[in-house]
Amino acid sequence: MLGQFWWIVLPVAFYFGFFPLWMDFVVGGWLTKSAKESVMIEIIPPKNIEKGPRMMESVFYGIAGVFVTLNPIDQYVNGAVTHRFSFELVGEEGAVHFYIRMESKYKKLVEAQIYAQYPDAEIIEVEDYTKKFPIVIPNKEWNLWGTDMEFIMPDPYPIRTYDYFEESVSGEMVDPLSAVIEILGKLTPGQHIWLQYVIAPQPESWKKDEMKLVQKLAGRLKEDKGGIFKDLADVFSKIISGVFKAVEFPGKEKKEEQPLEFRLTPVEREVLKAVEDNLGKNAFLTKMRWLYLGKKDGFDKSFVSSFMGSLKQFNDMNLNSFKPQDVSKTFANYVFRKSILSHRQRKIYRRFKGRDMDGNKMTFSTKELATLYHFPDIGVKAPYFQRVDSKRSSAPSNLPIG
């Protein structure tokens, strides 16, 4: 049998066996080259920011423009992938830092976008802060807890974004990052928390399938219950009934449906609007993860629950929420507990340092990203948070040259 159909079986087996290995090889090479050409910048925000996260959304809109459609040669031969950026919020023994890592060719683009929205900010190129730590953690001196994050609902459902953080009385926005920065500022010597968003711009076509959710929420997309087997059963039942009695044709009158605003509850209307608004923005494929690292002498896991609690403010039970992904979380039960735990810790630490996007990913809109990563406004008066005191000004036009 195999001798007759080898020309079909072997190519298929070769494809499914070899192709994934080939893609791992070429994509790995591409990412290694990209990492060597990457730079990291630190942003020191200006002292008086009054407009909140909306300004940062414009920065993400500008970065979304780097998306390019890859041709088959680049994709399958060279291993090219969509360019990635890593936005990182770091708590270092009570100090708070904002970092962005990108390929060096995009440094001027990112700086221009930030200066356009925050002209008084200070941007400096720095060495990757993860290089100051041991190559392998845990070890005799250091311990860590870490996790990747995942959505509870499908991507188009948004999280709680910045426009929901308004006081009901005054109408002023409470900065969504204030609670997060408060936790980072309480870290004691030897304690560190790293929060990372590795993002890659999505093409506009990504939302084609997601728009079906809008149709479903609006009641325009009927669920297919039973599939092809139900359809066949309906056909045969009609044939049999038609043999023994006259066929009845359905009337042309169609029951009028109520307008959408009367068919949906107030919460359903809000959910539909939020999903449509979210799909109307540029989107980024995102790997979100965070680590708590500490010296073993003072390793305090209460920081884990405190920081996780500060992230839960972005959850909306009517829309979307994120939670720790169980398969990535650094815990182990039952047999070989110590070795399994160490393996998970080393793995997530290595993936963080490599800005890895393997495994589960989420899709965030520009609005969601700006809510999660922006420079705090004037209301956040933390002593551990560095800001630029003086305003930047351009050089006089009449300076002598030469």
Contacts for 401 with CB less than 8 Å, ≥ 6 apart: none
Helices 54-64 and 107-117 pack at an angle, to 10 degrees, of 150
The per-residue pLDDT for range 145-182, each reduced to its tens digit, is: 999 999 999 888 899 998 888 765 555 778 888 889 99
Is this model's pTM higher than 0.85 or not?
Answer: no
The CATH number of the domain holding residue 305 is: 3.40.462
Residue 12 located in a structural domain: no
**Residue 259: inside a domain, yes or no?**
no
DSSP structural state of residue 173: B
Distance CA 389, CA 188 (A): 26
40: Cβ contacts below 8 Å, ≥ 6 apart = 99, 100, 101, 125, 126, 127, 128, 129
Q: What is the rounded CA–CA span in Å between residue 230 and residue 238?
A: 12
- Asked if 162 and 370 touch (Cβ cutoff 8 Å), the reply is yes
Whether 220 is in a domain gets the answer no
CB 293 within 8 A of CB 137: yes
Amino acid type, 396: P
Classify residue 342: in a domain, yes or no: yes
Domain hosting 295: range is 38-202+282-372
125 belongs to a structural domain: yes
Per-residue pLDDT at 401: 46
Q: Report how many domains make up the chain.
A: 1
What number of helices (H) and strands (E) belong to the chain? 12, 9
What are the CB-based long-range contacts (under 8 Å, 24+) for 7-16?
A: none
The residue among 286, 289, 306, 302 whose CA lies nearest residue 350 is 289
Q: Is 145 helix (H, G, I), strand (E, B) or coil?
A: strand
The answer to the question of residue 260 being in a domain is no
Are the C-beta atoms of 323 and 150 separated by less than 8 Å?
yes
d(CA 305, CA 302): 5
The tokens of 148 are what? 């990747």
8 Å CB contact between 314 and 373: no
Average pLDDT of the chain, as a whole number = 80
Which stretches of 127-165 are assigned E, i.e. beta strand?
142-151
Task: Note whether residue 346 is domain-resident.
Answer: yes
Is residue 113 included in any domain, yes or no? yes
Q: For position 13, what pLDDT does the model report?
A: 64
Per-residue pLDDT of the chain (402 residues; tens, 9 = 90+): 556 655 566 666 666 666 677 667 676 776 777 777 889 999 998 877 777 788 999 999 999 888 777 767 766 667 667 788 999 999 999 899 999 999 999 999 999 999 999 998 999 999 999 999 999 999 999 999 999 999 999 888 899 998 888 765 555 778 888 889 999 989 999 999 999 999 999 887 666 666 666 666 666 555 555 555 555 556 556 555 555 555 555 554 444 555 555 567 778 788 888 888 888 899 999 999 999 999 998 899 899 999 999 999 999 988 899 999 988 888 877 777 888 899 999 999 999 999 988 888 999 999 999 999 998 876 565 555 666 665 555 444 554 444
